[in-house]
Amino acid sequence: MEPRVTIIIPNWNGDKWLPPCLNALKTQIFQDFHTIIVDNGSTDQSIPWIKKNYPNITTIQLDNNYGFAYAVNQGINHARSQYICLLNNDTIPDPNWLSSLVAALDTADESIGGVGSMMLSLDDRSFIDDAGNTLSWYLAATKKGHRQQLSSYPVRCKTMAISGGASLFRSTFFEKCGKFDDDFFAYLEDIDLCLRGNLYGFKFLICPSAIVLHKSHGSEIPKNTYVTFVTANRLAILLKNIPLNIALAKSLKIIYGQFYFFIAYGKPISSLKGYLRFFSRIPSLLRTRKIVLRNKNISDLEIGNLLSNEPLDPPLSYFIKGYLKGIKKLFSFG
């Protein structure tokens, strides 16, 4: 008999993160689950350690690092359960974490495609790491409540998107909406998936009692690579999912957002690589766009309200002042 939940953990050289994460899964109150670890060609002791200490866990070993999206998709392909749970390896779930997520999805309307966790900082659990995700018309993805104290933050259960780092989805959601975009490699792939889900009529919730500690960017890639991927991926989200008339109406904010991030990152070569990566993907993105917009199940007005008008923070002047200060210091040297 298949378990009700399949937990999918992507891993890449995460042998220092896996022990506390998997040990925490042993203490879960809800135990009707099976774990699949998809390894992205790790060169550390991840696989030997798993096989020695957790022989019942299914491991899918890839021959290279194909990124978060591809790895998770391999796990989803192997899952046969009612619910599919995505979990980062740099997390430590509380004992009632999975039971809370399952209870929330069991009692939710079928239009709820997934439920996200209350992700707290692994360094100090009194601070929030992620309580849902938003995307603005500047194409800025924001983790709600990030770095705010849990005791003073007004948690809202409804959210545009949930993190791929600790969330429970209906398997039927993936059947209807498709899986993650392999070409994203890493970063913003969960925003892309959830935005597509919203277009298809699904909604997402945060379960405040489903607490998981998270070491933010515990398995991160180098900054230059991050800038390249996130630059390409935010434009891919726009092209794949937003109707032209809405994009044109929001074009000033979209363009300003790209200029903002180009300045804010301070990595012009990496940003340019990101634009080139995006342009190279346009043909495949346009093919996907036709499918997404053909199957959308909400109005243009509703699409316009999915993304926020939240201003960029810190403002652009903050970065410009920093550059000017650096230039002044350079020319006044000696």
From first to last of its 334 residues, what are the pLDDT tens digits of the chain? 889 999 999 999 999 999 999 999 999 999 999 999 999 999 999 999 999 999 999 999 999 999 999 999 999 999 999 999 999 999 999 999 999 999 999 999 999 999 999 999 999 999 999 999 999 999 999 999 999 999 998 888 899 999 999 999 999 999 999 999 999 998 999 999 999 999 999 999 999 999 999 987 655 678 999 999 999 999 999 999 999 999 999 999 999 999 999 999 999 999 999 999 999 999 999 999 999 999 999 999 999 999 999 999 998 888 888 777 767 666 765 4
Task: Flag whether 244 is in a domain.
Answer: yes
Task: Flag whether 311 is in a domain.
Answer: yes
3-class DSSP assignment, residue 43: coil
| Dist. CA 236–CA 275, nearest whole Å | 10
CA atoms within 13 A on the CB side of 36: 24
Question: Residue 292's domain spans which residues?
Answer: 223-317
Task: Flag whether 136 is in a domain.
Answer: no
Q: How many domains does the chain have?
A: 1
Peptide bond into 222 cis (omega under 30): no
> DSSP code of 310?
P
| Dist. CA 206–CA 241, nearest whole Å | 23
pLDDT of residue 321: 80
Q: Supply 45's token pair.
A: 């002791």
The beta strands (E) that lie in the chain are given as 5-11, 33-40, 58-62, 83-87, 91-93, 112-121, 128-130, 133-135, 141-143, 158-159, 166-170, 203-214
Q: Supply 164's token pair.
A: 């791929």
| Dist. CA 39–CA 249, nearest whole Å | 43
3-class DSSP assignment, residue 304: helix
pLDDT of residue 320: 83
Whole-number Cα distances in Å, 310 to 133, 137, 242, 257: 13, 8, 18, 12
Task: Flag whether 227 is in a domain.
Answer: yes
Task: Flag whether 289 is in a domain.
Answer: yes
Task: Flag whether 29 is in a domain.
Answer: no
Task: Flag whether 257 is in a domain.
Answer: yes
Task: Flag whether 143 is in a domain.
Answer: no
The model carries a pTM of 0.93
